[in-house]
Amino acid sequence: MNALVKVLVLCCFSIGAWANEVPLEKVNVATDAVTISRGAEDLMNDCHSCHTLKYIRYRDLVAFGIDKQKVDAWRGDQAMDSPLLGQFSDADAMQSFGIVPPDLSLMVKARDGGSSYVYSYLLAYHNSPDGVLENPVYPATKMPDALGIASATDAAQRTEIQGRARDIVSFLTWAADPHDAERKRLGYYVLGYLIVLTTLLYFVKNQIWGRLK
Ligand code: HEC
């Protein structure tokens, strides 16, 4: 009986939590270098002033294949080995926003919904009928509408902003696991090696056992 009550209470709570969540817009994350590079550029323009990416260094961007001249322009007098630090000190951010903007390096892994969460969050800003900026994905957020989606009214402008959000999220997905592609490539080599090794061992075994006949 006691257990049944617990199960019922748990169910009610989960249904309550579920009912409060707005559905996320699913993003089709790109993994090609062109999109990811474009996303890096947009992130440097639209997000980097407030947010750090402390696990990504400028050197990683060059190693990935982003034009070195661009990376040099982004880093200014910071070293190639420096992580992507934002321009706000924690104290200044506290004063401006009342909160320090979180590091974005692992953001797509840190939130339920991953890439789709970040994408939906960026695009959820809109003005209520009485002109108050709202974000149903994170109603209490202290972040301004960084991409300006709330004030974009014509369709072409909205499509451009949605494209930019997708590029940025694709970059952030790469940033959360920069060695993903490399690991997959290595996986194919290992598989190939195992297949060759198995074939060779098969022939060796046949030879050895053949002598017994
Ligand atoms: C003007 C400063 C500013 C800019 C520009 C900015 N952000 Fe933020 N961002 C913030 C602040 C402040 C928070 C913390 C919000 C909170 O928790 O109330 C935040 C939080 C976030 C979060 C975490 C939300 C969560 O669920 O906790 C993500 C993701 C994010 N920003 C992504 C971005 C991206 C991507 C861009 C560029 C398109 C961007 N931000 C541009 C200030 C900024």
Q: pLDDT by residue (tens digit) across 163-199?
A: 999 999 999 999 999 888 888 889 999 999 999 999 9
Under a CB-based contact definition with an 8 Å cutoff, are residues 124 and 21 in contact?
no
Q: Distance between CA 61 and CA 56 in Å, rounded?
A: 8
Q: What sign does the CA torsion over 100, 101, 106, 107 have?
A: positive
Backbone angles phi, psi at 39, to 5 degrees: -60, -40
Ligand 1 site: residues with CB under 6 angstroms? 46-47, 49-51, 97, 99, 101-102, 104, 107, 111, 118, 121-122, 138, 141-144, 146-147, 168
Q: Distance between CA 80 and CA 70 in Å, rounded?
A: 12
Which of 126, 136, 135, 122 lies closest to 169, judged by CA? 122
Q: What value does the mean pLDDT of the chain take?
A: 90
pLDDT value of residue 211: 84
Q: Distance between CA 14 and CA 196 in Å, rounded?
A: 51
pLDDT value of residue 140: 95
Position in ligand 1 atom list of the atom nearest CA 97? 12
Under a CB-based contact definition with an 8 Å cutoff, are residues 108 and 176 in contact?
yes
Q: Distance between CA 16 and CA 122 in Å, rounded?
A: 25
Q: pLDDT by residue (tens digit) across 17-42?
A: 444 478 999 999 999 999 999 999 99
